[in-house]
Chain A
Amino acid sequence: MLIVKPQNFLLPAPLPLDCGRELRQVNLRYETVGTLAPDGSNAVLITHALSGDAHVCGRHTPEDPKPGWWDEMVGPGRAIDTDKYFVVCSNVLGSCAGSTGPRSVNPDTGNPYNLDFPVITIRDMVRAQHELMKHLGIRKFLSVVGGSMGGMQAMEWAINYPDQVDSVIPIATTSQLSPQSIAFDWVGREAIKNDPNWNDGNYSADHVPEGGLATARMLAHITYLSDESMSRKFGRELQDADSYSFDFRRDFAVESYLEHQGRRFVERFDANSYFYITRAMDYFDLAARAGGDLARAFAGTRAAFLVVSFSSDWLFPTAESRKIVRALLRNRLNVSFCEIQSAYGHDAFLLEADVLGPMLRDFLANRLEAQHA
């Protein structure tokens, strides 16, 4: 059994942010698996999605009931083989799973930041990861791999640190958040704001806006599935009874499932972090920084790309990945693109390990071989 230990890295200097402010005493929670090769060629950074954390694979203790969030893909003998690669995964800035975020204590006041925490961007998250990279003595990542918001970070790596990434694998992602996604984020945050415990983010640990956060999660969770996957998984099945209750308690299996997802999310996630991370995604727009021309955004990029989308993903649909591919090809970069047929919707990037795995394995193997050629 693979046992991994969470570690902490306190940034040696204040972190400058896109909003113009800077953050002092930033901590990054991270985990590493595998061994960095003497020539440093085998480091792979995995970037996580909205609600993810640094615990990508293995278990923290032998009794740990659940492995890391991408254990099917990452580990000894897996597609991203930790016997072969030195895998790094860190919790993003602004999150609530060990890295500095809005619930962290502001060193200037001694109190939690809450909404005094500066609004951060995806590029800020990557800037913090770059500090971790230096700390770990890695000169170049063989690859930066991430799905959804992780894919956004991966692309930021290719743009901002072109000499320090050999390849990038953005999965089920987009170069800019669509108005539809911004709208979903807004409604989710509104649900939290309307929770009686919200108190403008200054809620106490025993009175968190859990109803609002659960509603936000349920809404978002629908966008991670597809009509087909919901039909297959739940149909119109009733949860407990054989007939309708004729009241408004949950009758349907799908209602029960969403309720369960909402409840589980509240146990592990913080409402303020939800605000900051969804905002970071709202602001994500690679083309906007290059005068609206996505191809120009990748002008200095040198990495090889493997772009992957999923046929039933309607949150970040294939057309968004095609836009990225087109922009990369305009820069004559080494690009591969595959739309994987799947019914799982956006969540497919976590579930389609059987199809996605071999592609990642082969792509990484070829990149590593090219390093040594």
Chain B
Amino acid sequence: MPKSLYLDLRRRPDLKIISELVHPGSRVLDLGCGDGSFLQMLREKRNAEVLGLEIDQQEIAKCIANGVPVIQSDLDTDLDFAEDNSFDLVILSQTLQQMRRPDQLLRQIVRVGRRAAVSFINFGHFHCRFQVFFAGSMPRTTQIPYQWYNTPNIHLGTIRDFQHLCRHLDIRILQETPIGFSFPLLTAAWPNLFAVGCVFVLEKA
């Protein structure tokens, strides 16, 4: 059987944090699941009942090869198939910034899942701020290496923006775990300035 290698969780600390949120035997939906290797891991390590949504035909073929159930979906339009609270955890990892309407998707995921885990890329990071401030151009990072005109990441925001949006949507933030590759103390103290990303655990208020 063709098997993709498990994700290297050291390179994706956000997924490591999310994997620890998955209770054994729980039902997990991953939005934008790629080749399904993260779900494959959750199934084998956490005995989770998994489902992935993915838009790309080639990635879907890989999910099928990995034995991960996957539904071809456009997250901007196709989440209405799922009933309220039909998943224990809905995962959205580094995808929110690609949505046409992040606010509508957030509403959907806290409807469909009892809890949602959102891994968010922070454009309030000092590196991004420096690029705008000193170089006078839109930030490019190793996580998001695109130019402003060809980027699929059409809705970039900061940790503070995300917190405001959740308040606005009546979504409760149960937990937030900032991720920084350096300066751990500064990251903990000023996440919006020093964290490259953040994992939020959400539920409907």
Given the known interface contacts A334-B69, A336-B69, A339-B72, the answer about A366 and B1 at a Cβ–Cβ threshold of 8 Å is: yes
The answer, among B2, B72, B86, for a CB contact under 8 Å with A362, is B2
Tell me, in angstroms, the Cα distance from A338 to B60 when the chains sit together: 7
Within 8 A of A (CB), among B64-119: 64-65, 67, 69-72, 78, 81-83, 86
Tell me, in angstroms, the Cα distance from A363 to B67 when the chains sit together: 7
Which chain A residue shows the least CB distance to B2? A362
Whether A338 contacts B83 by the Cβ 8 Å rule is no
Which chain B residue shows the least CB distance to A365? B1
Which chain B residue shows the least CB distance to A361? B65
- A contact residues around B78 at 8 Å (CB): 322
Tell me, in angstroms, the Cα distance from A336 to B82 when the chains sit together: 14
Whether A336 contacts B61 by the Cβ 8 Å rule is no
Given the known interface contacts A334-B69, A336-B70, the answer about A362 and B83 at a Cβ–Cβ threshold of 8 Å is: no
Whether B81 contacts A326 by the Cβ 8 Å rule is yes
Whether B71 contacts A366 by the Cβ 8 Å rule is no
Tell me, in angstroms, the Cα distance from A362 to B65 when the chains sit together: 5
A335 contacts partner chain B, Cβ-Cβ < 8 Å: yes
- B contact residues around A332 at 8 Å (CB): 86
A306 contacts partner chain B, Cβ-Cβ < 8 Å: yes
Tell me, in angstroms, the Cα distance from A341 to B70 when the chains sit together: 17
Which chain A residue shows the least CB distance to B63? A336
Whether B61 contacts A359 by the Cβ 8 Å rule is yes
A17 contacts partner chain B, Cβ-Cβ < 8 Å: no
- A contact residues around B72 at 8 Å (CB): 337-339
- A contact residues around B142 at 8 Å (CB): none
A145 contacts partner chain B, Cβ-Cβ < 8 Å: no
The answer, among A325, A359, A362, A370, for a CB contact under 8 Å with B71, is A325
A340 contacts partner chain B, Cβ-Cβ < 8 Å: yes
- A contact residues around B69 at 8 Å (CB): 304, 334-336
- B contact residues around A304 at 8 Å (CB): 69
- A contact residues around B83 at 8 Å (CB): 330
Which chain B residue shows the least CB distance to A295? B83
- B contact residues around A14 at 8 Å (CB): none
A235 contacts partner chain B, Cβ-Cβ < 8 Å: no
The answer, among A329, A337, A358, A365, for a CB contact under 8 Å with B61, is A358
Tell me, in angstroms, the Cα distance from A304 to B57 when the chains sit together: 20
Whether B57 contacts A306 by the Cβ 8 Å rule is no
Given the known interface contacts A336-B69, A339-B72, the answer about A362 and B61 at a Cβ–Cβ threshold of 8 Å is: yes
The answer, among B51, B64, B81, B86, for a CB contact under 8 Å with A363, is B64
Tell me, in angstroms, the Cα distance from A335 to B60 when the chains sit together: 12
Whether A337 contacts B71 by the Cβ 8 Å rule is yes
A369 contacts partner chain B, Cβ-Cβ < 8 Å: yes
Whether B1 contacts A336 by the Cβ 8 Å rule is no
Tell me, in angstroms, the Cα distance from A322 to B78 when the chains sit together: 10
- A contact residues around B71 at 8 Å (CB): 325, 329, 335-337
What is the CB-to-nearest-CB distance from B92 to chain A, in angstroms, rounded to a whole number?
18
Tell me, in angstroms, the Cα distance from A113 to B87 when the chains sit together: 54
- B contact residues around A362 at 8 Å (CB): 1-2, 61, 64-65
Whether B57 contacts A340 by the Cβ 8 Å rule is yes
- Residue-wise interface mask of A (335-351) relative to B, using a CB-CB cutoff of 8 A (1 in contact, 0 not): 11111110000000000
Tell me, in angstroms, the Cα distance from A58 to B4 when the chains sit together: 34
- A contact residues around B2 at 8 Å (CB): 362
- Residue-wise interface mask of B (33-72) relative to A, using a CB-CB cutoff of 8 A (1 in contact, 0 not): 0000000000000000001000001001101110101111
- Residue-wise interface mask of A (352-364) relative to B, using a CB-CB cutoff of 8 A (1 in contact, 0 not): 0001001100110
Tell me, in angstroms, the Cα distance from A358 to B63 when the chains sit together: 12
Which chain A residue shows the least CB distance to B73? A337
Which chain A residue shows the least CB distance to B70? A336
Tell me, in angstroms, the Cα distance from A355 to B57 when the chains sit together: 10
- A contact residues around B86 at 8 Å (CB): 332
Which chain B residue shows the least CB distance to A318? B72
Tell me, in angstroms, the Cα distance from A355 to B70 when the chains sit together: 16
Given the known interface contacts A326-B81, A329-B81, A329-B82, the answer about A336 and B57 at a Cβ–Cβ threshold of 8 Å is: no
What is the CB-to-nearest-CB distance from B187 to chain A, in angstroms, rounded to a whole number?
39
The answer, among B1, B64, B82, for a CB contact under 8 Å with A306, is B64
Whether B67 contacts A366 by the Cβ 8 Å rule is yes
- Residue-wise interface mask of B (1-21) relative to A, using a CB-CB cutoff of 8 A (1 in contact, 0 not): 110000000000000000000
Whether B1 contacts A359 by the Cβ 8 Å rule is no
- Residue-wise interface mask of A (304-316) relative to B, using a CB-CB cutoff of 8 A (1 in contact, 0 not): 1010000000000
Whether A336 contacts B64 by the Cβ 8 Å rule is yes
Tell me, in angstroms, the Cα distance from A329 to B71 when the chains sit together: 10
Could you tell me which A residues sit within 8 Å of B by CB distance? 304, 306, 322, 325-326, 329-330, 332, 334-341, 355, 358-359, 362-363, 365-366, 369-370
* Cβ-closest 6 pairs across A and B: A362-B65, A366-B67, A326-B81, A337-B71, A338-B60, A336-B69
Offer 13 A-B interface pairs, CB within 8 angstroms, sorted by A. Answer: A322-B78, A322-B81, A325-B71, A329-B71, A329-B82, A330-B83, A337-B70, A340-B57, A341-B57, A355-B57, A355-B61, A358-B65, A366-B67
Could you tell me which B residues sit within 8 Å of A by CB distance? 1-2, 51, 57, 60-61, 63-65, 67, 69-72, 78, 81-83, 86
A-B contacts besides A336-B69, A339-B57, A363-B64, 19 pairs, CB < 8 Å: A322-B78, A322-B81, A329-B71, A329-B81, A329-B82, A332-B86, A334-B69, A336-B60, A336-B64, A337-B70, A338-B60, A338-B61, A338-B64, A339-B72, A355-B57, A358-B65, A362-B2, A365-B1, A370-B67
